[in-house]
Copies of this chain bind each other. A is one copy, B any other.
Amino acid sequence: MKRRLLLVSNSTLHGGGYLQHFASNLTRRILFVPYALHDRDAYSKTARDKFKTLGYEVDSVHETPDPVDAVRKAEGIFIGGGNTFRLLKSLYDSKLVTEIRKRVLEDGIPYMGSSAGTNVSTISINTTNDMPIVYPPTFAAIGLVPFNINPHYLDADPNSKHMGETREQRIVQYHEEPDTPCVLGLREGSMLLVEGSKATLLGSTKARLFQRGKHTTEYEPGSDLSFLLTDAQ
């Protein structure tokens, strides 16, 4: 499988250095998907300005007359952060879910996602932190990897008086449901590089892996997480 993914925890356009390394020698043109934010023009301008400093040209899918055709011709795709529900609904409304999966898994074009863009690259958006501001036709997502990610993973604050559930409790509740896949909690500053059947944790922070019915495990940056890519976990 030609799969080549960079899945970043943070919501904004961080990880520039990794991104440059990731996409270099692959493409100089990136198709940007701004669907997670309301103001697509402003978001595309921000992305275009940022990528220009890294040496990339950006086309925004919302500026093209035919989004499906734009994906078919894309040399690389970057989906930015914002609201995951809005993003997934827009991807389905524009009929891009299947097309992106095909381009990335079969044709091998590089995929970069940050926050919501990372969520939609996994099996489903069941482990997003976002508010469900719109109703997508399903929570099933693009499925570039056979597990889920929780971006912006946050450790419980022992001094907090807030009575809502901790992030860990929420993910444990997810695993109370039947047939739920692994969840990789990516803290701020963390990202996952996937090259074919190899997955490596990059960045400056540890990641926390939740597996249904098993103990949770912490992984240091640099860890080989390729075992997550086999379907039978």
User: Is A127 at the interface (CB under 8 A from chain B)?
Assistant: yes
| Contact among B128, B131, B174 for A126, CB-based, below 8 A | B131
- Chain B hits for A49, CB < 8 A: none
Q: How many copies of this kind of chain does the complex include?
A: 2
Inter-chain contact A130/B163, CB cutoff 8 Å: no
Give the number of chain A interface residues (Cβ < 8 Å): 37
Inter-chain contact A131/B131, CB cutoff 8 Å: no
Q: Which positions 135-190 of chain A face chain B at CB distance < 8 Å?
A: 135, 138-139, 152, 154, 161-165, 170-171, 173-174, 176-177, 180, 188
Question: How far, in whole Å, are A165 and B85 apart by their CA atoms in the complex?
Answer: 14
Show the binding face of A for B, using Cβ within 8 Å. Answer: 10-12, 38, 82-83, 85-86, 115, 125-135, 138-139, 152, 154, 161-165, 170-171, 173-174, 176-177, 180, 188
